[in-house]
Structure 1
Amino acid sequence: MAYDIRLVKLINGDMVLGKWDAQEEKIKDPALLQMLPTQQGGVQMLLLPFGYPFDTEITGEIDGAHILYEYKTVPEDLKTKYLEASSNLTISTPSDLKNLGNLTGPGGKVTDLGSLFKK
């Protein structure tokens, strides 16, 4: 199922990433996006459940009336991280799957299963 993932700024200034429900005009399963400065002078992004520290799972909903601004684009890697965090699943990309052929050993045949687990 494809979700309409949106990045919005709420009227209180929080940046939230979530699944947009057009029928109810709500953000469902909101995650708070926080920016943390790094020692190198850059910024690191952190996704937290909106109700953190009291809620430890990404659940709930925010009415669209509380949205001040909607960002036009959401980076794909941020969408992926959000979906992973909200579903507890890891999403693979084509580049992650390119080395699957090496799992079977030389010639593409597994003759000794123990060799797959040895260093």
Structure 2
Amino acid sequence: MAYDIKLVKLINGDMVLGKWDEQEQKIKDPAILQTIPTQQGGMQMALLPFGYPFDTEVSGEIDLKHVMYVYKNLPEDLKNKYFEASSNLTISSANDLRNLQGMSGGGQGGGMGNIGDLLKG
């Protein structure tokens, strides 16, 4: 079953990302989004399991009756971070895929040269 990932504000003020299940009226596998002020006056965001620090896995459910607000826009990078946190997979961007060519050592043939040269003694 495909889920729609939503960013919501709960009635207690917490911002949560999770799998929106309209049929069951729940947010499944919630992760809390915390803003952290930086020394430079900016803000960073941390995505943690909702039950952190006691639960270290993204799991659980929240009834939609606890949702005060549903954000219309969810940045794609935040959605990717949620998928990474909830699935333990890393999602590559198009930029990462372009950089794969540079990881091969550059040049033609991955920078390895001719395999026959390896076999010559």
TM-score between both structures, scaled by the size of structure 1: 0.86
Percent identity reads 70
Gaps of 5+ in 1: 114-119
Give the Cα separation in 2 of the matches to 1:65 and 1:106: 58
Return the offset for 1:94. Answer: 1.3
In the other structure, the counterpart of 1:107 is 108
Whether the aligned pair in 2 keeps the contact of 1:8 and 1:70 (CA below 8 Å) is yes
Greater gyration radius? 2
**Equivalent residue of 2:101, what SS?**
helix
Q: After TM superposition, where is structure 1 displaced by more than 4 Å over at least 4 residues in a row?
A: none
Whether the aligned pair in 2 keeps the contact of 1:32 and 1:47 (CA below 8 Å) is yes
Give the Cα separation in 2 of the matches to 1:65 and 1:58: 20
Whether the aligned pair in 2 keeps the contact of 1:47 and 1:82 (CA below 8 Å) is yes
In the other structure, the counterpart of 1:4 is 4
Whether the aligned pair in 2 keeps the contact of 1:101 and 1:108 (CA below 8 Å) is no
**Equivalent residue of 1:62, what SS?**
strand
**Equivalent residue of 1:92, what SS?**
coil
Q: Number of aligned pairs?
A: 113
Gaps of 5+ in 2: 116-121
Structure 1 residues 65 and 98: alpha-carbon distance in aligned structure 2, compared to 1, 3 A threshold = same
TM-score between both structures, scaled by the size of structure 2: 0.85
